[in-house]
Structure 1
Amino acid sequence: MTTTSRAALEGIRVIDMSRVFAAPVGAQILGDLGADVIKVERPLIGDDGRGYGFSWVPGKGGIETRQSSFFTVSNRNKRSITLNHARPEGQEVLRDLVKTADVLIENYKVGDLKRFGLDYESLKAINPRLIYCSVTGFGQTGPMAALPGYDGLFQATGGMMAVTGVPEGQPGAGPLKTGPSLVDFMTGHNTALAVMGALMHRNATGEGQYIDIALLDSSVAMVSHIMQDYLISGNAPPRLGNGGNGGGPADLIHCADGIIYLTAGTDEHWRRLTVVMKQPELNEDPRFDTNLKRGKTNRAELMDIINTWSRGFSAADMQAMLDEAGIPAARYNELADVWEDPQVQHRQLRATTPHAFAESGSVDLIASPLAKMSASPATIRLAPPMLGEHTDAILAEIGYDEERVKALRDAQVI
């Protein structure tokens, strides 16, 4: 989305020392909102996330972009500088950058950066207004703080898998991990939200602060109303597979040539569905006369009835009937189908972005959900960076002349 409006975070500089996915997503959101995000990467190696995923952006003229799907989806609107912070000269460069920064985001192991004098207390001494955000698996303290953390571990630990998967009694019953790395993704959003809250606090008080973000915390919070149900009742809700959590019927229904997801969880939506099905007697049927019975107790029986009916119609005809009756429903899309969806196209969710090093001259990115803010929308200004692409420019901005930059490069500090 192109705009001439002032970006919400224009003038904010973020030092992004994070790798892989969760924390980089957080830094990217700040970049989408206008912050100048400087991604600090290891010389020659870069962000570990450059090697994650199954696909890489093809490079122009045989250039190896080292931009995997993981990296590409979480590193737009950033400039890349290479820097070896284990060397004293690299630490000096980083401190010079911090003097110009508002935010630093890192996801190293607990205490790792303190060895190099790059922890919050050390950097706060040279920039008291600095907001320093550490993202780890288990947080900065506690018996598991030193352990590494990855998305799947927290889907298992935090309760997501306990409520996701095939219901008991059905073939293949048991817990399942979600396809996308949702704990990482949500942790990234929580990171950005915490930083923006800290910026608001600093605007009011002039004070920077330290932020401790943990994937574990996000994973427990993500279970949301289902976890709250447990806290209220003491009873663990069963896995419902594709069933809705708020009532029924809510599930995939199979048509003659496709699949639709149906949500008729309110009493009124259920009544309307029985009319569309031309089986109004089901509305008074004692097996289905409460939301609890439709959504839980007799759910399987009801879905068998609905699927027997739905298989007699095409998906297009079924969608039209349900839309006309005001019953919430949506056609199931394979990934390729998503980009053919007329509403997805209308919302411009496929963001083709110029990329000087890509074979095609551009890269297709997923638009920010914040792009429709009326005064300060999120925008995509920069494609994900090549490793070290902006090193010289960034160092020049903080006063390093060509001779000094060459000396750092010759010493393999950058």
Structure 2
Amino acid sequence: MEHVRTPGALDGLLIADFGRVLAGPYATMLLGDLGADVVKIERPDCGDDTRSWGPPWTDDGEATYFLSVNRNKRSEFWDLRSDDDRAAARELVTRADVVVENFLPGTMARLGLGYDDVKALNPDVVYVSITGFGESTLPGYDLLVQAVGGLMSVTGAPDEPTKVGVAMVDIVTGLHAAVGLLAALRHRDATGEGQHVEVSLLSSLLSALANQSGAHLMTGAVPRGMGNRHPSLTPYEVFTTADRPLAIAVGNERQFARLADVLRHPEWADDPRYASNALRVEHRDFLVTAMNDALSSRSAGEWASDLGEAGVPAGPVNDIEQAFALADQVGLDMRVDVDGLAQVANPIRMSATPATYRRRPPRLET
């Protein structure tokens, strides 16, 4: 079943999606939500790799991983080693506004579907290549890039490099791909000229490391994991309460004074060790010990309520079920039903051309 077509911001845009796994599919799903017509190319019989990535599975045996990033697409199951299927793919890219691919470098060119090949057929095409490491043929799996790209070194305890609990490098790369794609379309609309957009997992991660990677280039500092602590702010971490952990994020002197009042230690605001953020970072261990002692008398929910009323950013450490409940509570409405399948809503809110949910993720054809 397909929903009634509602015009979106990208209505009429045809995307030939050769992306697999996460970075490419996440980008094209977001664009599909905003109105683009996304044709996903999958291998016959087995489809996208993530169709077999489980558990968890739905009741009818579909991998929730695949379903999470492939709505608003229609699939063609083509074997690109086959002359007939390759011809069908060439016909598609000739019509497409955008081509997205994340094969190993050189693969699409060997199939006659590289940027130069497609440009010859479709001169104003926007062609997006997502790689792991640029021209290198190292396979770009998120865990590998988190490891070699420095993210694990600044996550977790100092002696225990830890991966982020979701494939965040893929997600960030998908967002960069979508931004580059839209910028290239804006250029094409203005000049009629298409172009090749390239993003890699490693470069996207180094950019997304932001203050950490920037500090290294500017000072030579090599940051290390600090658990839940922040290298430049205190108090800005997770604390112990009477029942469960509580995150407190103090970003300025006004918030620190209010924190001290709520915790019934107003003298902290006048303590010379805590007179500035830099001094609090220097004397972090003393302050954190004192705060944990003060916070241990009440629950995380009680403290979060009182701190919030005082204008101090604080909240309990939620699991994902509790996080959705919070989104419901604050009116973010992050749940959507697509033909009976529960999905996470597109987070982009647009007043004139909102996201629409026209197709459930395509089923595997065998």
**Normalising by the residue count of structure 1, what TM-score does the alignment of the two structures yield?**
0.84
User: What is the root-mean-square deviation in Å for CA atoms of aligned residues?
Assistant: 1.9
Q: Is the 8 A contact 1:339 1:345 kept in 2?
A: no
Rounded to whole Å, the distance in 1 between the matches of 2:49 and 2:224 is: 37
Rounded to whole Å, the distance in 2 between the matches of 1:76 and 1:287 is: 54
Match of 1:258? 244
Rounded to whole Å, the distance in 2 between the matches of 1:307 and 1:4 is: 54
Rounded to whole Å, the distance in 1 between the matches of 2:71 and 2:232 is: 36
Match of 2:343? 365
Question: How many correspondences in the alignment?
Answer: 364
Q: Is the 8 A contact 2:28 2:178 kept in 1?
A: yes
Rounded to whole Å, the distance in 1 between the matches of 2:58 and 2:197 is: 34
Matches within 5 A, 1:109-148: 109-140=104-135, 145-148=136-139
Match of 2:201? 215
Segments of 4+ in structure 1 off by > 4 A?
A: 2-5, 342-345
Match of 2:352? 375
Q: Is the 8 A contact 2:130 2:198 kept in 1?
A: yes
Are residue 79 (structure 1) and residue 74 (structure 2) matched?
A: yes
C-alpha offsets along residues 34-58 of structure 1, whole Å, 9 cap, x if unaligned?
A: 1000011111110011112421222
1:136 offset after TM fit, Å? 1.0
Q: Is the 8 A contact 2:12 2:36 kept in 1?
A: yes
Rounded to whole Å, the distance in 2 between the matches of 1:253 and 1:369 is: 29
Q: Is the 8 A contact 1:248 1:266 kept in 2?
A: no
Are residue 306 (structure 1) and residue 283 (structure 2) matched?
A: no
Rounded to whole Å, the distance in 1 between the matches of 2:327 and 2:15 is: 36
C-alpha offsets along residues 51-72 of structure 1, whole Å, 9 cap, x if unaligned?
A: 124212222xxxx4xx323211
Unaligned 5+ runs, structure 1: 355-361, 389-413
Rounded to whole Å, the distance in 1 between the matches of 2:42 and 2:224 is: 44
Unaligned 5+ runs, structure 2: none
Rounded to whole Å, the distance in 2 between the matches of 1:238 and 1:291 is: 20
Match of 2:213? 227
Match of 1:41? 42
C-alpha offsets along residues 127-156 of structure 1, whole Å, 9 cap, x if unaligned?
A: 11211111110113xxxx111111111112
C-alpha offsets along residues 184-237 of structure 1, whole Å, 9 cap, x if unaligned?
A: 000011111111111111101111111221111111111101211222222223
Matches within 5 A, 1:34-113: 34-59=35-60, 64=61, 67-113=62-108
Match of 2:147? 156
Give 1 or 2 for the bigger CA radius of gyration: 1
Residue type at the aligned position of 1:200: R
1:11 offset after TM fit, Å? 0.2
Rounded to whole Å, the distance in 2 between the matches of 1:318 and 1:329 is: 8
Are residue 165 (structure 1) and residue 135 (structure 2) matched?
A: no
C-alpha offsets along residues 161-190 of structure 1, whole Å, 9 cap, x if unaligned?
A: 222111x4xxxx332111010000000111
C-alpha offsets along residues 16-44 of structure 1, whole Å, 9 cap, x if unaligned?
A: 11111111111111111110000111111
Match of 2:333? 348
Are residue 285 (structure 1) and residue 271 (structure 2) matched?
A: yes
Local SS of the residue matching 1:351: strand
Rounded to whole Å, the distance in 1 between the matches of 2:4 and 2:288 is: 48
Residue type at the aligned position of 2:149: G
Match of 1:18? 19
Identity of aligned residues (%): 37
C-alpha offsets along residues 308-364 of structure 1, whole Å, 9 cap, x if unaligned?
A: 11110122221121012111112221122122225456211021221xxxxxxx221
Match of 2:311? 326
Bigger relative CO (Cα 8 Å, ≥ 6 apart): 1
Rounded to whole Å, the distance in 2 between the matches of 1:111 and 1:118 is: 10
Q: Is the 8 A contact 1:338 1:344 kept in 2?
A: no
Q: Is the 8 A contact 1:49 1:71 kept in 2?
A: yes
Local SS of the residue matching 2:246: strand
Residues 216, 35 of structure 1: CA spacing in aligned structure 2 closer, same or farther, 3 A cutoff? same
Local SS of the residue matching 1:91: helix
1:5 offset after TM fit, Å? 6.6
1:287 offset after TM fit, Å? 2.6
